[in-house]
Amino acid sequence: MAVTGAAGMIGRKLVARLVADGGLSDGVRELAIERLSLYDVVEPAPIEGWFGPVDRVATDLGPTGAAEAVVAGRPDVIFHLAAVVSGEAEADFDKGYRVNLDGTRDLLEAIRRAHLTEGYTPRLVFTSSIAVYGAPLPDRIPDAYPATPRTSYGTQKAIDELLLADYTRRGFVDGVGIRLPTICIRPGRPNLAASGFFSSILREPLAGQEAVLPVPEDVRHWFASPRSAVGFLLRAATIDSALIGPDPTLAMPGVSATVGEQIGALRRIAGDAAVALIRREPDPAIARIVAEWAPGLEARRARELGFTADASMEEIIRAHIDDELGGTLR
Amino acid sequence: MAVTGAAGMIGRKLVARLVADGGLSDGVRELAIERLSLYDVVEPAPIEGWFGPVDRVATDLGPTGAAEAVVAGRPDVIFHLAAVVSGEAEADFDKGYRVNLDGTRDLLEAIRRAHLTEGYTPRLVFTSSIAVYGAPLPDRIPDAYPATPRTSYGTQKAIDELLLADYTRRGFVDGVGIRLPTICIRPGRPNLAASGFFSSILREPLAGQEAVLPVPEDVRHWFASPRSAVGFLLRAATIDSALIGPDPTLAMPGVSATVGEQIGALRRIAGDAAVALIRREPDPAIARIVAEWAPGLEARRARELGFTADASMEEIIRAHIDDELGGTLR
């Protein structure tokens, strides 16, 4: 198995889960890990609990030959998570296209070359994003809805989905794409992403810290916990492609919540004192960006295919407390 | 003005019309032709009636530098028609991506470089196709409908649309894309395209020749005459981009007709003797391909923006008689 973007937040959790589970299994298909090949722009850290063959490689998929290296060991499953994030892809046009478009296309081409010479056809799990949707959007976006991205990042992800579908249709690769919701609660320090506050207004108060809320409480968005995101990836790795049909990218389920509902869930779990740590500092620029984001998805196909999301914002918060805070609040 | 694919059927008609009109005009915006720069894989023929500066260049937009050359003269309008057709893009995977994806992206990049250095922002008219739609399809596809192509050609066109939208959104180019219906009646000899019979069952009988019909009469599809297609291009070249909004590619209007309705129109114009020249030779392979094609579009946005299609299949046939047969049947 190979993972690009293995040093990222989701990548690390995915690898830890794969190792803890001893491989992939969905009750029907079982796949042991023979070798773990991890790629990221920084060298992925050693993996706790894994004593088998491993590659930990620092590469950004940009230069020629990087994709060849990922494919060289003929991994049976490739999780392709590596990407330049939304804000950076908007700020650095060339880098965004080089990594998010060319990097993915290079990987598909490297797979295709190995397919044409030796019939290699790995399962490729590709992480797309709800950034492929652009305003105007209904409250519940149906599965069959146009991808009209309003960012370069969303454009690159939408293009990758089209490539994945064509390479899969032609039989060069066994691709499955998943459109991830906004991940909440992202662990770690606050970052500068426009979406950062959706996590920090929960994460910081849970840790007794102040957080800034830049948008009104009626802003609605679509969320999944890191734990759910890893579950989506595992399901995507094992699902029978015959069940998926000609469009290999699935919109993932999640929790639709307003900021007010996020705060309500925080109050029920951590009390008024936690909520009092949220400082309102309206930022019209962020409010304008976020207003165009997906408020919610139907995700009917994915639910029917066994992709399972968190049940509620409370469950999302409890997953964070379990996975990041040792199971209890201080 | 520059035209890629200038030696193709639509390219030649476009150039002839530009020269006949003395430039572009939509009643509001007037644009004289200062120079005509024509590109195709074969050297475009000399232009009748044009005595101004001209470039006629044989290039396939594949090699590095070809797109630079198109942009070098800083044309105010670029019609980008060049493409590998559907059947060839399916048969030659590499060539399809090289010309239809990389060729378009190279052109956008060459424009962007000139934009960043000197503010050059031409109108780029890009011809997309209803091949971006994939089954299942409603009888009238609305403007907001997902592009889920089922061919490499359709995939490449859908990707080009996404690139055009992002480059336009960023202000690097003033792009307008048009999703062309199947062109009917294509002049010239029958070709091997799966769609060829839609034209040949009309064109050949109008010329007193036999034609083969490989599909049932209830097959429904979406058509525009070459004359309408040229009209779409001219409208796309002059339209105020402020009217278009964030999605610069528009689905073009057309005539929705079954094969039976095509034959009915032929009968009304050319009589039973012409219809008797159509020989039924069912071809399940072609029938299967064509069954997945778009039966019709709403094309509401385009109609509201002044893109005008043929009124009926009869009008499409009469346009062919006027433009290709000297105005009368033999």
CB within 8 Å: A166 and B144 = no
* Residues B92, B84 contacting (CB under 8 angstroms): yes
Which two structure tokens, joined as six digits, stand for A1?
A: 């198995």
Residue B206 lies in a domain: no
Nearest to A52 by CA among A40, A38, A66: A38
Q: Residue B186 has what pLDDT?
A: 95
**CATH number of A231's domain:** 3.40.50.720
User: Rounded to the nearest 5°, which phi and psi values hold at A203?
Assistant: -65, -45
**In the beta sheet, which residues pair with residue A274?**
none
Determine whether A13 is exposed, middle or buried from the number of CB atoms within 10 Å of its CB (0-12, 13-18, 19+). middle
Closest chain A residue to B159 measured between Cα atoms? Answer: A159
Q: Looking at beta carbons, which residues of chain B come within 8 Å of A165?
A: 148-149, 155
Catalytic residue positions of B? 153
What is the residue range of A40's domain?
Answer: 2-180+225-253+296-309
- Amino acid, single-letter form, for residue A55: D
A224: helix, strand or coil: strand
What number is the average pLDDT over the span A19-30? 84
The model's confidence at residue A192, banded by pLDDT at 50, 70 and 90, is low
CB atoms closer than 10 angstroms to residue A294? 27
Residue A19 lies in a domain: yes
Residue B301 in this model has a pLDDT that exceeds 70: yes
Residue A264 lies in a domain: no
Q: Residue A93 has what pLDDT?
A: 97
Which two structure tokens, joined as six digits, stand for A173?
A: 């690769």
CA dist., res. A59 & res. A43, Å (int): 8
Residue B249 lies in a domain: yes
Q: Looking at beta carbons, which residues of chain B come within 8 Å of A108?
A: none
Residue B258 lies in a domain: no
Q: Residue A60 has what pLDDT?
A: 81
Q: Residue B192 has what pLDDT?
A: 67
Half-sphere exposure at residue B52, Cβ-oriented, CA atoms within 13 angstroms: 11
CB within 8 Å: B147 and A146 = yes
Residue B44 in this model has a pLDDT that exceeds 80: yes
Residue A175 in this model has a pLDDT that exceeds 90: yes
Residue A196 lies in a domain: no
Q: Residue B135 has what pLDDT?
A: 87
Q: Residue A248 has what pLDDT?
A: 97
Of B17-26, B159-168, B309-318, the range with the lowest mean pLDDT is: B17-26
Residue A154 lies in a domain: yes
What number is the average pLDDT over the span A154-180? 98
CA dist., res. A156 & res. A160, Å (int): 6
Closest chain B residue to A151 measured between Cα atoms? Answer: B166
B61: helix, strand or coil: coil
Determine whether B239 is exposed, middle or buried from the number of CB atoms within 10 Å of its CB (0-12, 13-18, 19+). buried
Catalytic residue positions of A? 153
Which two structure tokens, joined as six digits, stand for B162?
A: 């996404």
CB atoms closer than 10 angstroms to residue A184? 29
CA dist., res. B170 & res. A81, Å (int): 26
CA dist., res. A308 & res. A312, Å (int): 12
Q: Looking at beta carbons, which residues of chain A come within 8 Å of B134?
A: 246
CB within 8 Å: B166 and A155 = yes
Say which of B150, B159, B170 has its CB closest to residue A246: B150
* Residues B293, B130 contacting (CB under 8 angstroms): yes
CA distance readout (Å), A12 to A19, A41, B268: 11, 14, 70
Residue owning tokens 């039976």: B260
CA dist., res. A184 & res. A7, Å (int): 18
Quick one: how far is CA B214 from the chain centroid?
A: 24
Helix, strand, coil percentages (3-state) for chain B, rounded to 5, are 45, 20, 40
Tally A–B CB contacts below 8 A.
52
Q: How far is B5 from chain A (nearest CA, A)?
A: 24
CA dist., res. A25 & res. A223, Å (int): 25
Residue B324 lies in a domain: no
The secondary structure element, H or E, covering residue B236 is helix B226-238
ipTM: 0.96
- Amino acid, single-letter form, for residue B132: V
Q: Looking at beta carbons, which residues of chain A come within 8 Å of B163?
A: 155, 159
Which residue intervals of chain A are DSSP H helices?
Answer: 9-21, 66-72, 86-91, 93-96, 104-118, 152-169, 196-206, 226-238, 259-275, 284-291, 300-304, 313-324
**Residue-wise pLDDT tens digits, B120-174:** 999 999 999 999 999 889 999 999 999 999 999 999 999 999 999 999 999 999 9
Q: How far is B138 from chain A (nearest CA, A)?
A: 12
Number of structural domains in chain A: 1
Which two structure tokens, joined as six digits, stand for B268?
A: 């009304």
- Amino acid, single-letter form, for residue A103: G
Q: Residues of B near A (CB-CB distance < 8 A)?
A: 93, 134, 144-150, 152, 155, 158-159, 162-163, 165-166, 169-170, 246-247
**Which DSSP category does A185 fall into?**
T
Q: Looking at beta carbons, which residues of chain A come within 8 Å of B165?
A: 148-149, 155
Which of A162, A169, A250 should be substituted to probe chain B, the one whose Cβ sees the most B Cβ atoms within 10 Å?
A: A162
CA dist., res. B8 & res. B82, Å (int): 8
Residue B46 in this model has a pLDDT that exceeds 70: yes
Q: Residue A132 has what pLDDT?
A: 97
Q: How far is B144 from chain A (nearest CA, A)?
A: 6
**Which DSSP category does B161 fall into?**
H
* Residues A168, A245 contacting (CB under 8 angstroms): no
The model's confidence at residue A86, banded by pLDDT at 50, 70 and 90, is confident
CA dist., res. A302 & res. A244, Å (int): 9
- Per-residue HEC secondary structure of B306-325 comes to CCCCCCCHHHHHHHHHHHHC
CB within 8 Å: A146 and B145 = yes
CB within 8 Å: B158 and A155 = no
Nearest to A49 by CA among A90, A76, A20, A10: A20
CB within 8 Å: B247 and A148 = yes
Say which of A152, A163, A165 has its CB closest to residue B166: A152
Q: Residue A12 has what pLDDT?
A: 97
Which of A94, A112, A155, A250 should be substituted to probe chain B, the one whose Cβ sees the most B Cβ atoms within 10 Å?
A: A155
Greatest Cα pair distance in chain B: 63
Q: Residue A242 has what pLDDT?
A: 93
The model's confidence at residue A44, banded by pLDDT at 50, 70 and 90, is very high
Q: Looking at beta carbons, which residues of chain B come within 8 Å of A145?
A: 144, 146
**Residue-wise pLDDT tens digits, A279-318:** 999 999 889 888 889 999 999 999 999 999 999 999 999 9
User: Rounded to the nearest 5°, which phi and psi values hold at A12?
Assistant: -65, -45
- Amino acid, single-letter form, for residue A132: V
